[in-house]
Amino acid sequence: MSGGARIRAAIESARANRRPALVAYLTAGFPRLDQFGPLLRATDAAADVIEVGVPFSDPMADGATIQRSSRVALEQGVTLRWILDALGGLAPHARAPILLMSYLNPLLAGGLTETIRRAAAAGVAGFIIPDLPLEESPGLRELARSHGMALVQMVTPVTPDERIRALAAATDGFLYAVTVAGITGGSAASPGEEQRIGAYLDRVRSLSGGAMTCAGFGVRSRAQVRALAPHADGVIVGSALIEAIENKQNITNFLTELVSTT
C-alpha cells in the first residue's frame, strides 16, 4: 500500500470510530536523543498519523515552542541521517503511518534523490514541507510518488478558492488546513474565531474534491477539537504536544483525551 493510501486508511478508521483522526507532531530527538523511540511509541499508542519534525536552524513558519524544540534537538546533534536511521528501526513497528515534516534545505543537503530513497527505505509514508509551495513542488512530488510516498499540501485562510482546488488535487494522504494565517503554536482560538475557522474549514471541504482535510496550527484543547470535529476529518496537534513533553505529562493520555468524545 502506498504511503498516501496508508494515511487515508488511518484517517478513515478513526472516522469509523466516530472521532476525528489525530495527527501528532514530534520534533525528532527532543528533548533527548534516547527519548525519540519511547516518545514515538507513546504517540503511536494514541495518534492515527505521526509527523516527525526534522529540526532546522531557521524555522520561519514556526512559533516559539517549535523553535525551542528544534534548537534543543539540533544541540543534541540530531540530523536527518540520524532520524532516518532511527525510523528504520521504529517505523515498521508503528501502527500509525509516519510523515517527515521538514523545511526544504535539510532534504536537499544530502541530495534530494538519495534522501527520498533513504526515507522510503526507513518506512516513511510521506512528507510535509512548509516552504515548498505548489509551484515548486512537482519535481519532488513525482520523486516521492515513484517511491510510494505522499507529499501533503497545505491550505490557509488566505488561500483563494481556485488555489484550494489545485492544492487539494495535488495533495496525497490528506489536505493540511492551516486554521490561521500565522505561525505554529498560536494561542487557543477565541469563540468568535471558532465560528470563522468552522466556516473556513467548510469552504475547504467544499473545494477539496474528496480529499480528506485535517486542521492544524494552534490546536490545544479538547473543547477546540470538539468544535473543529464537524468541519474536518482530523486535527493536527504540534506545539501543545511538545509542551506536554516539556511538562513531563503522559503523552498517550494527553493525546487520547484530546480526541475523546466522551
Partner 1 sequence: MTTTILGPPDRLAPGQAATELARLLAGDYPDAAGRFGPFGGRFVPETLMGAVTRLDRVARAAFADPAFRAELDRESRDWIGRPTPLCYAAGLSRAWGAPVWLKREDLAHTGAHKINNALGQALLARRLGATRIVAETGAGQHGVATAAACARLGFPCRVYMGSIDVERQAPNVDRMLRLGAEVVPVETGDRTLRAAIDEALRHWVSDPLETHYLLGSAVGPHPFPWIVREFQSVIGRESRAQMIERTGRLPDAAFACVGGGSNAIGFFHGFLADPRVALFGLEAGGRGPGLGEHSATLSHGRPGVLHGTYSMLLQDSDGQVIETHSVCAGLDYPGVGPEHSFLNWIGRVRYEAVTDREALDAHAECCAREGILPALEPSHALAGARRFASANPGAVLLVNLCGRGDKDMPILAREAPMTGPGGRP
Candidates 24-32, 34-42, 157-165, 227-235; binding stretch for partner 1 (CB under 8 A): 157-165
Q: According to the binding rule CB under 8 A, does residue 151 interact with partner 1?
A: no
Taking CB under 8 A as the criterion, which residues in 28-57 touch partner 1?
56-57
Residue type (1 letter), 223: A
| CA–CA gap between residue 87 and residue 54 (Å, rounded) | 12
Which among 18-26, 173-181, 194-202, 232-240 is the span making contact with partner 1, rule CB under 8 A? 173-181
- 3-state SS string for 11-78: HHHHHHCCCCEEEEEEECCCCCHHHHHHHHHHHHCCCCEEEEECCCCCCCCCCHHHHHHHHHHHHCCC
State the catalytic residue, choosing from 44, 48, 51, 194. 51
In the bound state with partner 1, the residue whose beta carbon lies nearer, of 89 and 133, is 133
Q: Which residues pair with 178 in a beta bridge?
A: 216
Give the span between the Cα atoms of 195 and 99, in whole angstroms.
Answer: 30
Single out the catalytic residue among 34, 44, 58, 62: 62
Question: Is 169 one of the binding residues for partner 1 (CB under 8 A)?
Answer: no
58 binds partner 1 (CB under 8 A): yes
Give the interface segment with partner 1, choosing from 25-33, 38-46, 158-166, 227-235 (CB under 8 A).
Answer: 158-166
194 annotated active-site: no
| DSSP code for 130 | T
Largest separation between any pair of C-alpha atoms in the chain:
48
Is residue 159 at the binding interface for partner 1, with CB under 8 A as the rule?
yes
Among the listed ranges 40-48, 92-100, 117-125, 178-186, the one in contact with partner 1 (CB under 8 A) is: 178-186
CA pair distance 207, 184, nearest whole angstrom:
24
| Beta partners for residue 98, in sequence order | 50
Strand pairing class (126-128; 175-178): unpaired
Residue 202 a catalytic site member: no
Q: Say if residues 15 and 232 touch (Cβ distance below 8 Å).
A: no
179 near partner 1, judged by CB under 8 A: no
Instruction: Rule CB under 8 A: say whether 107 interacts with partner 1.
Output: yes
Q: Which residue has the cell 543537503?
A: 109
Given the rule CB under 8 A, which residues bind partner 1? Answer: 56-63, 67, 74, 79-81, 103-113, 130-136, 138-140, 143, 153-156, 158-160, 163, 167, 178, 180-183
Active site amino acids: 51, 62
